[in-house]
Amino acid sequence: MCRYLLSKQTPVIATCRDPLKGQALTQLKTEHGDLLSIHRLDVLDENQISEVAVSIGDTKLDLLVNCAGMLHPSGKGETSLREVDLQSLQTTLATNALGPLIMAKHFSPMLTKRNSADKNAVAGVLVNISARVGSISDNALGGWYSYRMSKSALNMATKNLSIELGRKRVICVCLHPGTVNTDLSRRYHKNIDPAKIFTPEFSVNCLMKVIEGLEVKDNGKFFGWDGKEIPWGDPKRDFAALRFQQVREERWWKARKIINCGILLNSPPNSQN
């Protein structure tokens, strides 16, 4: 994505955990000079995030892309509940969901700065790179507990951001890049049609096309690499009918309260209820 933007002569601020190991970024810096600035930043370290934000605080950002992510600390997604462990869940959630939210906290003030006197003009765009597996209604296979949960949490965070930052004309969206030939999921590619595995360059070109075409009406939505909207929930559900059913159930439970009064959820130990 940095390479794409730099090819358009767009100034880019890039971050990575260790700039000394970022050979691709170093090469881009050699090619583009002052058009690219590189900063050390770990999305799990809020102090680092704050320091970078302060160091570029006078800058007007037009686009913030949060693309740091991981499948699982082991590199292998869980295939069953037996493989779930708390530490891996916490690390994956922190990297994929909490990190982008803290990034938004510190960098959104630079997105809300205006280049135009037009109060209706878009001030900036915030993009969180999500994944289709984070869509609850699209989950038909299960597995990958940590990754799925982290992307669902990221989707909710993005929806919240779209409401708060949308008031300041910042468009916030999630994007699904497709299955890309990177280390994140390469070990699972053997069971996928090669035609459906994208090069990073192809995926970036598709995502940038979506980003460049965003309008205010797209705020708070989730799009695939092809520009098609991905539903957060089940589009087939009739929520009016669902609410009617909920009211009926509430009335039924009230009528049965004498029978059910002995049920206590989360009763303390040794409770006699």
- Residue 194 sits in a domain whose CATH number is 3.40.50.720
* 8 A C-beta contact, residue 40 and residue 16: yes
> What is the C-alpha to C-alpha distance for residues 225 and 213, in angstroms, rounded to an integer?
12
- The pLDDT score that the predictor gives to residue 263 is 44
Domain range for 209 is 60-224
In a domain, 241, yes or no: no
- The pLDDT score that the predictor gives to residue 116 is 66
Q: How far is CA 17 from CA 33, 45, 48, 137, 208, in A?
A: 20, 10, 10, 34, 24
In a domain, 195, yes or no: yes
In a domain, 28, yes or no: no
- The pLDDT score that the predictor gives to residue 232 is 79
- The pLDDT score that the predictor gives to residue 273 is 43
In a domain, 273, yes or no: no
Amino acid making up residue 38? I
Token code pair at residue 42: 């770990």
> What is the C-alpha to C-alpha distance for residues 61 and 272, in angstroms, rounded to an integer?
60
CA dihedral of 74, 95, 227, 8, whole degrees rounded to 10: -110
In a domain, 77, yes or no: yes
In a domain, 152, yes or no: yes
- The pLDDT score that the predictor gives to residue 54 is 97
Token code pair at residue 115: 């280049």
In a domain, 251, yes or no: no
> What is the C-alpha to C-alpha distance for residues 237 and 16, in angstroms, rounded to an integer?
42
Mean pLDDT of all residues in 137-147: 89
What is the residue-wise DSSP string for the chain?
Answer: -HHHHHHTT--EEEEES-GGG-HHHHHHHHHHGGGEEEEE--TT-HHHHHHHHHHTTTPPPSEEEE----S-TTSS--SSGGG--HHHHHHHHIIIIIHHHHHHHHHHHHHS--SSS-TTS--EEEEEE--GGG-GGG--S---HHHHHHHHHHHHHHHHHHHHHHTTTEEEEEEE--EESSTTTGGGGGGS-GGGEEPHHHHHHHHHHHHHT--GGGTT-EEETTSPBPPSS-TT--HHHHHHHHHHHHHHHHHTHHHHTT--TTPPTT---
Residue 253 has pLDDT above 90, yes or no: no
- The pLDDT score that the predictor gives to residue 57 is 83
Query: How many structural domains comprise the chain?
Result: 1
Beta strands 36-40; 12-16: pairing state: parallel
In the chain, what is the straight-line distance between the N-terminal and C-terminal CA atoms, in Å? 59
- The pLDDT score that the predictor gives to residue 245 is 52
In a domain, 269, yes or no: no
- The pLDDT score that the predictor gives to residue 86 is 97
Amino acid making up residue 36? L
Mean pLDDT of all residues in 175-183: 83
Q: How high is the mean pLDDT of the chain? A: 85
pLDDT tens sequence across 111-140 = 998 776 677 789 999 999 999 989 888 888
> What is the C-alpha to C-alpha distance for residues 92 and 95, in angstroms, rounded to an integer?
5
Residue 2 has pLDDT above 60, yes or no: yes
The region of weakest confidence among 15-19, 146-150, 258-262 is 258-262
- The pLDDT score that the predictor gives to residue 272 is 44
Mean pLDDT of all residues in 12-36: 93
Token code pair at residue 99: 């990190």
Token code pair at residue 140: 């038909």
Mean pLDDT of all residues in 189-211: 85
Residue 240 has pLDDT above 80, yes or no: no
